[in-house]
Amino acid sequence: MAQHSNKLAKIQAVTANRLLDGHVVYFTAEGQWSDWVDDVVLADGKEEADALLAKALPSVETRHIVDPYLFEVDQEDGKMVPKSVREKIRMAGPTIRLDLGKQAAVRS
Amino acid sequence: MYRYDQFDHKLVTERVNQFRGQVSRRMSGEMTEDEFKPLRLMNGVYLQLHAYMLRVAVPYGTLSSVQMHKLADIATKYDKGYGHFTTRQNLQYNWPALEDLPKILDELAEVEMHAIQTSGNCIRNVTADQYAGAAADEIDDPRIWSEIIRQWSTFHPEFTFLPRKFKFAVTGCSNDRAAIRVHDIGIELVRGKDGDVAFDIHVGGGQGRTPMIAKLIGEAISREDLLAYLEATLRVYNMSGRRDHLYKSRIKILVHDIGAEEMKRLVEEEFALVKKQGVLQLPQEEVDRIRAYFAAPDFETLDAECPELDAAMASNKRFAAWVNTNTAQHKQAGYTIANISLKPIGGVAGDASDAQMHVVADVAEKYSFSEIRVTHEQNLVLAHVKKSDLLALWETLEANGMGTPNLGLITDQIVCPGLDYCALANARSIPIGQEITERFADLDRQHNIGELKLKISGCINACGHHHVGHIGILGVDKKGTEYYQVTLGGSADEITSVGKIVGRAFTEHEIVDAIETIVEVYLDLRESPDERFLDAYRRVGIAPFKEKLYADN
Ligand code: HEM
Ligand code: SF4
C-alpha cells in the first residue's frame, strides 16, 4: 500500500486533499490549509503528531478538506522535503508532466 | 451505432440530476465524505493524488466523431487539455473540480455519454473486441451481444450491490482481442450446432492480487438462453457471497475454491430454474432490434487490390511499416482496419491531447464513417478505412504524433497511471514505460524483436495487466522507495497464461537495463525470427533469462 503514516516517524506534518478541487494541501501553524509544503507545521514524535492530526480533523467537518493524514518530513536548507516518493510527487505534481500540478505554478 | 432509446435518456438525465444534488449537498455540508464517497464512485469520480479523476464510460469501446469532439472540448474546458484512454476502454480526466462534475456529466449526456458503471461493486462497462463489425475472422459482431448484456445488467435490481465489481468482455471470434479469459465473465462467440451464433462462457478470470484464468463453464449456449445463463451464473456468485461471507470477493475466488466442475453444476442447476421462469428468454426480434444499430456502414464495392497503396508503401518506408504493423484485415474488399497508436516514443501510453482528439474525430469522419474504437491496449481504431485513403490518413496522424508504426511491438505498452497520479500506487509506471520506449526507439530494432507485449502496473491491483504481459512489470514499495518486479510469459489471448516472477525486484535505475537483457537473451536463443518472444519463452522457460539477469550475484 501507499506510504501513509509511519509509526516510527520522527518529524511529521499533516496533509489532505481540498474538498472543492481535490488539490493537495498542508496544515499550517495557524490552523489553516496551505497549498505549499513549506508552510507546514511540524510535529516531533508520536504524541505531538497525534495532537496535530486531532487539531486538523475539524476541517473535515467544515468541509475544507478530505482524508487528512500524517506524513514524514525532512528539512533540507530550510526547505521541507517529504521523505517518501509518494509525498514528493504529491507536493510537486506528476513527474512526467512538469507543466502540471504545483511544480508548474510559481508561488506568489 | 447504438442510439439511446427514451429509457436510457431518462435514466442518464435522472442520474446526472441526482448527482448534482449530491454534490451540492456535499458542498453545503448536508452530506459527509463517508456518505458522499460511495455516491461519487458510482458516478465514476475518484480522488487521486493531485485532484479528482472522472472516468467516462465508452461502452464496448465505440465512440462517434461527435462524442470524441465532446471529449476533447471537456478536456479543454474543465480539465488540463488532455485525457487518458484506459485498458477498460474508458477515458479518464485527471483534474476536474468537484463543482464542475455535474456540468461535465451534463455535457456528456448531450452526446449520450455518462460515467455510470465505471466504478463501484456493480457490473462494469462491458468491453468488446475493437475490430467488431470489421474483422475478417469474426463470427458475429460482439457489440450486439455486449449491448444486450449492458441493457440487461444496467441497474438490474439484483446486481446493483454485488459482493465486488464485475467485469464482462466479449470477443467475436476465436482470436481473442478482448482478453476475455481475465475477466469475471468472458464470452466468445462460436458457431452452435445449427450454425447459429452461440456463446462459450468463461467464468472466474481476473487479475489483481490473485490472477486467475477463467474456466470454460458454458459451452455453445444458444442465443435464447444467453441471458438466462448469465443470470444463473451471477446468482450463484451473489448467493455464495451472501451465504457465508467466505466468497465476499471476486467470482474468480469462488470458482477457484469450489472448482470448475462444481461451479458448472451450480450454474446449471440455477439455469434450469431461471429457464423455467421463462422471462429471460432472448427473442430473435430483440436481437434484430439491437443488431440494426450496428448495421454495417455503406461500404463501396472495391477491388481487394489497391495499386496506389502498394506504390505509396514502396516509396515511404515508415508508412509501409505502419501499414504492416498497424492495419488488420477487413472483411470487406478494399477496406482495412487502421490502428492509431497512442504510444509515441517517450509519450504517456494512452494519453491524447484535446487537439489530438479533435484530429481523430475529424479523420474518423472523413475516412471511417465517423466511428472510433478504443482498445484495451490503450490505442484507438478506425475500423473501416478504404485502402486508397490510408496514406492520407496516416499523414494526418503522423503530423499529429499518432502515426507511430509500433502496434504489438515492445513500445506499444499497457501502462497504468501509477504513482504519478494514483493514490493506491506503490511506484511510478509511466516514466518506466517512457524510458523503455526511448531505449527501443529504433524501429528496425523493434520490428526485428517482433511481437512483444510489455505491460506495467504501479501496484498489485494490476490495472496495467502486468500479469498477462509477455514481459510484465509491477511496481513495489520498499520503505518509501520504488522497486520493479518482472514477470515473464504472461499472455491474454486465446492461450492465456499468468507470468512468472523472474527473481528479485529491480531499482528504478536497473529496470530498463534488465528489460534490455531479457530482450537480448530472447534474440540469442530464438530459433528463427518467426519465433515470437512468447513462443521462445514457452519453449525454453524462465531459466536462461534468470541466469543472465542475475549472473553477477
Ligand atoms: C487512477 C485511478 C485508479 C484506481 C484508484 C484504480 C483502482 C483499482 C483497484 C482498487 C483495482 C483492484 C480491484 C480488485 O482487485 O478487485 C483495480 C483493478 C483494475 N483496474 Fe484500476 N484503478 C485506477 C486506474 C485504472 C486505469 C487507468 C486503468 C486502465 C488503464 C485501470 C484498469 C483496471 C483493470 C483492468 C483492473 C482489473 C484487474 C482485475 O481483473 O482484477 N484502472 N483498479
Ligand atoms: S495498478 Fe495500482 S497504481 Fe496502477 S492504476 Fe491501478 S491501482 Fe493505481
pTM for the whole structure: 0.90
* CATH number 3.90.1170.40 is the correct assignment for the domain at B133-293: no
Asked if A96 has any chain B CB less than 8 Å from its own CB, the reply is yes
* Of B46, B185, B421, B461, best ligand 1 pocket probe by most atoms within 8 Å of the beta carbon: B461
pLDDT exceeding 70 applies to what percent of chain B?
A: 94
Residue spans per domain, chain B: 6-110, 133-293, 307-399, 414-549
Asked if residue B86 has its Cβ within 6 Å of ligand 1, the reply is yes
Residues contacting residue B528 through CB under 8 Å, at least 6 positions apart: none
> Can you give the pLDDT at residue B156?
73
Burial class of residue B256 (count of CB atoms within 10 Å of its CB; 0-12, 13-18, 19+):
middle
Low-confidence ranges of chain B (pLDDT < 50): 1, 242-243, 246-247
pLDDT per position in chain A (108 positions), as tens?
Answer: 344 544 454 899 999 999 999 999 999 999 999 999 999 999 999 999 999 999 999 988 888 899 999 999 998 888 899 999 999 999 999 999 999 999 998 665
> Can you give the pLDDT at residue A1?
39
* Of B348, B378, B463, B483, best ligand 2 pocket probe by most atoms within 8 Å of the beta carbon: B463
The topology under which CATH files domain B414-549 is Sulfite Reductase Hemoprotein; domain 1 (3.30.413)
> Can you give the pLDDT at residue B62?
87
Contacts of A84 in chain B (CB under 8 A): 480
Cβ of A86 within 8 Å of Cβ of B480? The answer is: yes
Nearest CA-CA distance, residue A75 and chain B, Å:
17
Asked if residue B416 has its Cβ within 6 Å of ligand 2, the reply is yes
Residues in B 443-462 with any Cβ partner in A closer than 8 A: 459
Asked if residue B458 has its Cβ within 6 Å of ligand 1, the reply is no
CATH of domain B307-399: 3.90.480.20
Name residue B132's beta-bridge partners. Answer: none
Burial class of residue A78 (count of CB atoms within 10 Å of its CB; 0-12, 13-18, 19+):
exposed
Same fold yes or no, B307-399 and B414-549: no
State the amino acid at position B515 in one-letter form.
I
Cell numbers found for residue B141: 459482431
> Can you give the pLDDT at residue B547?
95
**Could you read off the pLDDT of B308-325 as tens digits, one per residue?**
999 999 999 999 999 999
Asked if residue B208 has its Cβ within 6 Å of ligand 2, the reply is no
> Can you give the pLDDT at residue B9?
72
A82, A89, B202 from A98: Cα distances, Å: 18, 11, 44
Asked if residue B457 has its Cβ within 6 Å of ligand 2, the reply is yes
Residues contacting residue B391 through CB under 8 Å, at least 6 positions apart: B308, B309, B312, B316, B319
**Could you read off the pLDDT of B211-243 as tens digits, one per residue?**
999 999 999 999 889 999 999 998 898 887 544
* Residue B418 falls in which region: left (phi positive, over 0), alpha (psi -120 to 50) or beta: left
For B50, the closest chain A residue by CA position comes to: A23
- Smallest CA-to-CA distance from B385 within B299, B296, B291, B295 is with B299
**3-state secondary structure at position B221:** strand
Burial class of residue B132 (count of CB atoms within 10 Å of its CB; 0-12, 13-18, 19+):
buried
Provide Rg for chain B, Cα atoms. Answer: 23
Contacts of B346 in chain A (CB under 8 A): none
What class has domain B6-110? alpha beta
Cβ of B98 within 8 Å of Cβ of A3? The answer is: no
Asked if A37 has any chain B CB less than 8 Å from its own CB, the reply is no
